[in-house]
A and B are shown apart, each in its own frame.
Chain A
Amino acid sequence: MSTFWENIFKFRQKKVHEIDKILLKIPIFHDLNHSELRQIKDILHQREYNKHEVIFNQSDVGLGMYIIEKGTVNIVAEPESQLLAKLSEGDFFGELALLDDAPRSASAVTETPCTMLCFFKPELLDLIDRNPKLGSKVLFRLAWTIGERLKTTNEQIKELSSLTQQDQIVKEK
């Protein structure tokens, strides 16, 4: 019940400077000026989660990204509950849902009590409509971030395929 009331009064408790610092570390927002950052903060949802609470389940409809303001979150692949990543303060996840309508590819579960900042697609689309300059800046940075992730994935695939090739060579020998 306590998180329920915390969510209602959440914006009264916000620690503005701390949120600014966290947002500026996120690549999507890191080159925004003070007034642009304020506009972004206006459209973020701030929420409190208990320990071991599910943020979203794999295959749920996804609407946007989560930024960890405080706490630790585990990204888990079902059905074996395989731990894919352990994320902490300043990390973010789920940003692909800002662009596509595909269901969530993994579950997110809190490991400790968490405070999350949520940035969702309807608010992004609304922002593009009423402030195209800021909207395109965010979109460009979002594309850049996803591009970076793609590069990392490509590197990992390269490594994996070279490992597989080495394995095959070893087996052939």
Chain B
Amino acid sequence: MKNRRGYFIKISLFSIFALLSLSILAAVSTIVKLVIISALLAYVLDPVAKFLESRGMTRTSATVTIFLFIFAFAGVSYVIFLPLLSEEITALQRGFNPEQAGVMISRLENFLITNLAFLGVKDLHLLSRIQNDMAKAGDWIFTHFLDAASVITSMILIPFIVFFLMRDGREFKKAFVGIMPNRYFEFTLYLIYKLNTQIGNYLRGQLIDAAIVGIFSVFALWLLGVKYFFIIGVFAGLANLIPYFGPIIGAALAVLVSILQTGSFDMALYVIVAFTVIKFIDDFIIQPTVVAKSVHMHPLTVLLSVLIGGRVFGILGMLLSVPIVAFIKVVAHESIINYHRYGEV
């Protein structure tokens, strides 16, 4: 009886602690997001740091070297791509070529009204709606990605956090394992080890995959002469991080832009072909070689995780849903396997 009471007190204390931690995390969600992004970056860059260490550098000098390289790369990209990028975004904010898009949209509107009149379709005002939405999309990109204050904060904070996570990551891990009771100490290390091998390769593979798909998309759209090819290509690459939905979202945006740009389906058709070819290359060449098949998850689990992640945490939730569910799966699986020991608490 006494044991059961002690157990109840432990569970209650743990629940209160968990609730408090969650509410604090929710209150500082922006910082939590920054820390998550930084941790992911530090994690992805870790093998590079290890490689430099294997060439005789200390951890600190390896981290500094990586940062110098990233800053140099960012500087060059800034000089080359920023004029292009800002031009594209300003154009996107202003909206599309009204005459051509207008012709195309009214044609589409007439088509819908004549063919779908029996469904009660009339007076769609598609042109004004789409132009409105495109301007909104431009604003959205500005407020979410290019808002000056948040960009500056992130640009200072993220490298700062990444630097220390990379340099002192081992000490952080050691300190974390150090506070575990003796009973769970080795198991905690075992869990971290399992997570590292299963999720680490997946994350790194996905990022490399997204980068390759992004480059292919930018190149294909540039060849086809699609406007805003750089933004759409980069977006398609990033979207590729989201299982199932990502590639469709990326292709849909490119198709929409090409229709609005030319006022016909011709270019859209080529865009669809290009994205299909990229998807095939991705599925049959890039994915099997780059992305480790270490996260053993059923496609339905992946699909539902992405949907729930997107619903609860937005884009970041969609991106992180698979690794988070894989994390829960590994922890649950290993804990159940080892229940005979840890269940006796």
Contacts and interface: CB of A to CB of B under 8 A. Distances in A.
B43 interface: no
Contact of A10 (B50, B178, B181, B190): B178
A106 interface: no
Contact of B187 (A7, A53, A61, A121): A61
A61 B190 contact: yes
Interface in A49-69: 49, 53-57, 59-64
A8 interface: yes
A78 to B, nearest CB: 12
B50 A122 contact: no
B192 A8 contact: no
B178 A8 contact: yes
Interface in A105-136: 118, 120-122, 126, 129-132
Nearest to B55: A130
Contacts of B88: none
Contacts of A63: 186, 189-190, 193
A131 B178 contact: no
B186 A60 contact: yes
Interface residues of B, number: 27
Q: By DSSP majority rule, is chain A's interface helix, strand, loop, or mixed?
A: mixed
Interface string B184-196: 0111011011001
Given A55-B182, A60-B341, A131 B190 contact: no
A59 to B, nearest CB: 8
Nearest to B338: A61
Nearest to B177: A45
| Number of chain A interface residues as a range | 20 to 34
B193 to A, nearest CB: 4
A54 B192 CA distance: 22
Most buried by A among B170, B178, B180, B183: B178
B54 A122 contact: no
Interface in B157-193: 170, 174-175, 177-183, 185-187, 189-190, 192-193
Interface in B35-89: 47, 50, 53-54
A166 interface: no
A47 B180 CA distance: 10
A130 B189 contact: no
B54 A132 contact: yes
Contact of A49 (B180, B182, B187): B182
A7 B178 contact: yes
A63 B334 CA distance: 14
A153 interface: no
A126 B54 CA distance: 10
B50 A130 contact: yes
A3 interface: yes
B178 A126 contact: no
Contacts of B50: 126, 129-130
Contacts of A55: 182
Contacts of B337: 61
B178 A45 contact: yes
The 10 closest A-B pairs by CB, nearest first: A130-B53, A122-B193, A130-B50, A129-B50, A63-B190, A130-B54, A61-B190, A7-B178, A63-B186, A8-B179
27 contacts: A3-B182, A4-B181, A7-B178, A7-B179, A8-B178, A42-B170, A45-B174, A56-B186, A59-B340, A60-B338, A60-B341, A61-B187, A61-B190, A61-B337, A61-B338, A62-B186, A63-B193, A64-B186, A120-B186, A120-B189, A121-B193, A122-B193, A126-B170, A129-B50, A129-B54, A131-B53, A131-B54
Given A60-B186, A62-B186, 12 more contacts: A8-B178, A45-B174, A45-B177, A45-B178, A47-B185, A56-B186, A59-B340, A60-B338, A61-B186, A61-B337, A126-B50, A129-B50
Interface of A: 3-4, 7-8, 10, 42-43, 45, 47, 49, 53-57, 59-64, 118, 120-122, 126, 129-132
